[in-house]
Amino acid sequence: MRFGDWEHEPAARQLRQDMQGGQPAHAYLLAGPATKCKQETVACLAQALLCLSPEAGEPCGHCASCDAWEHQAHPDYHSLEPDGNSLKIEQIRQWQPFFNYRPQLGRHQVFSLSAPELLTEPAANSLLKILEEPLPQTVFLLATEDEGALLPTLVSRCRVVLFRTRLEDRSQEGDDGAAEGLRQLLWSDSEAELLRQVRLLKLDRPTVGRLLRRLLSDVERLYRQARQQVLAGQGDTRASKDLMECLDIIMTGQQLLDDNVSIPLLLALTLRALQKRLRELPPEIRPASGV
C-alpha cells in the first residue's frame, strides 16, 4: 500500500510530504468521510511511521517493521475502537503502560483512535492531557467523520488533514481558493487589505470552517517548532505563549461560527486579532513567506 496509489488526492499528497520531511506531527486529526482513499491512506501513514527504511516518504514494504505490519502483528501499533456508542476513559488508560517504552521494532509508536467524536468527556480530557505533552517517537492518529463534534482544544493539538469526495473537491475549489488568499494575507503587513478582502469575499460557513481549521493546523505546527527551539536552548517561551494566544483566537472564531455570527464580522474580528499576534512572532519562528 502506497500514498502514490492516491496521488490525485490532496490529503494523500500532504501526508507523503510530511513523511518525506522526516518530521511528522505528534498527532494527526484525519477528518472526512470513511472512503476507500481515507482508509488506505491512513493505513499507509501508520506503516510509513513504523517503517525502518522509508523511501521518498513511502513505506519500503520489505523491512522487518513492514513485515510485522503486513502480518498485523506490529508491537508498536496500538489501536482503539468505540466500545458500543462511546470511547471510555478506561480504554484510553489501556495505552498508559506503553508510554513508558521506546519503540520495540519501528521508528515510532503509533496510537490509532477511531471515531474520537465518541469520546466521553473524561476520556476526551484524558487524551487532551496526553497530547499537550508530546511523547518522543510517538504519533497519534485520530480518524473522524465529524471533526465538528470534537473539543476545539483537542483539534488544536492535532495537525488536521481533510479527506473529501471528488464531488466535494470540485464544488469547494473556488471558495477554498478565496479563503487561501485570506490565509496568505495574514502574513502581510497590510491590515487594510485584509479587511478589504473580508468585505469583498462572500464565503459560506462551511468554507470559513475549513479556513479556521487550516489556520489551527498552521499555528499548531509553528507552536511545535517554537517548543522544539526552547527545548534545544535556542529560543524563549514568549513565542510559545504568543502562539497559544493565536490558538485561542482561532478557537473563539470557531465558537462565533457555531453561534451563527455574521461571516464578515466573524472574519474581521478573528483575522485582525490573529494578524496582530502573528506580526509579533520572532523572525526565527515567523515564516518568510507565509505558511
CA 287 vs. chain centroid, Å, equals 18
**What sign for the dihedral angle of Cα 204, 6, 52, 47?**
positive
- Residue 81: what pLDDT? 92
Does the pLDDT of residue 5 top 80, yes or no?
Answer: no
SS3 state at 113: strand
CA dist., res. 130 & res. 142, Å (int): 13
Extract the C-alpha cell encoding 61. Answer: 514494504
Question: Angle 270-222-41 (CA atoms, 0-180°, nearest 5)?
Answer: 100
Max avg pLDDT among 107-111, 142-146, 260-264:
107-111
Q: In terms of pLDDT, which residue wins out, 99 or 5?
A: 99
Q: Is the pLDDT of residue 45 over 80?
A: yes
Q: What is the largest CA-CA distance in the chain?
A: 58
Whole-number pLDDT of residue 125: 92
What is the tens place of the pLDDT at every residue in 264-274? Answer: 899 999 999 99
Please state, for a pLDDT cut of 70, what percent of the chain lies above it: 91
| pLDDT tens digits for range 49-87 | 999 999 999 999 999 999 999 999 999 999 999 988 899
Give which of 134, 268, 148, 270 is closest to 210, Cα–Cα. Answer: 148
Higher per-residue pLDDT: 87 or 203: 87
State the pLDDT at residue 7: 74
Confidence of residue 168 (pLDDT cuts 50, 70, 90): very low
Mean pLDDT of all residues in 152-175: 70
Strand partners, 112: 79, 141
Strand 138-144, strand 27-31: pairing: parallel
Query: Does residue 12 contact residue 41 with C-beta atoms inside 8 Å?
Result: yes
- Is the overall model pTM greater than 0.95, yes or no? no
Domains in the chain: ranges and CATH: 1-164 (3.40.50.300), 167-291 (no CATH)
**Cα(212)–Cα(271) distance, integer angstroms:** 10
Tell me the mean pLDDT in the region 209-216: 87
Helix (H, G, I), strand (E, B) or coil at 147: helix
Please give the mean pLDDT across all residues of the chain: 85
Mean pLDDT of the region 209-232: 82
CB atoms inside a 10 Å sphere around CB 131: 17
Query: Can you name the residues that pair with 58 across neighbouring β-strands?
Result: 55
Q: What is the percent of the chain where pLDDT is above 90?
A: 40
CA 74/CA 106 separation, integer angstroms: 8
CB of 107 within 8 A of CB of 75? no
| Integer Cα distance of 251 and 270 in angstroms | 9
> To which H or E segment does residue 193 belong?
helix 191-200
H or E segment and range at residue 208: helix 205-231
Q: Looking at residue 134, what DSSP letter applies?
A: P
Between CA 225 and CA 211 the distance in angstroms is: 21
Weakest mean pLDDT among 2-6, 126-130, 203-207, 214-218: 2-6
